[in-house]
Amino acid sequence: NINKNIVTKSKNTKNQKIGVIGTEGTIKSGKYEQKIKEINPSAEVISCACPLFVPLVENGFAEKEVSKMVAKEYLAPLKNAGVDTLVLGCTHYPLLRGVISDIMGKDTYLVNPGEETAREVKNILTAENMLSGNDTAEHEFYVSDSPETFERLGGAFLNRKMDFSIHKIDMQ
């Protein structure tokens, strides 16, 4: 389910050319295009699957030259189309924000669905008087893969040290 805030942010377009990047599944679903068109029928939505972005991020190559080369290739049709607003339609893509911004240019507005979803959840919790405000919660994570990989990726996503309890579980 696509958060309305994400789609509403696409109204920041000045030229009505909105790009959406995501995984193959996200792009094939057409959901972002559908929702954007519901809110802004005059928008031209250009979607592009960027399947290599996820493994690049997960393997620690977000800031490496290979990511810049891949991003330049993937984003060329969007840049050539004059997209001025770009929805980063995958949780991993904001970790490539610097690379994407460099390629698309400073005049392209990047929409981060994770930030927009968090903002919407906070608004709902505040409106329902359910926002805790308690910053002393304990966090414990269970992973089926490498705890070290989770710690590295989690730290990148949260932009903080993952000083939480992380346990590896056996899925058998």
Say what angle helices 65-80 and 97-104 make with each other, to 10 degrees: 40
Q: Tens digit of pLDDT for each residue in 5-41? A: 666 666 678 999 999 999 999 999 999 999 999 988 9
* CA 76, 62, 5, 24 torsion-angle sign: positive
Predicted structure pTM score: 0.80
pLDDT, position 3: 61
Secondary structure class of 165 (helix, strand, coil): strand
Closest CA to 11 of 36, 46, 32, 47: 36
Least confident of 52-66, 80-94, 108-122: 108-122
CA distance 19 to 41: 15
pLDDT, position 51: 96
pLDDT, position 150: 84
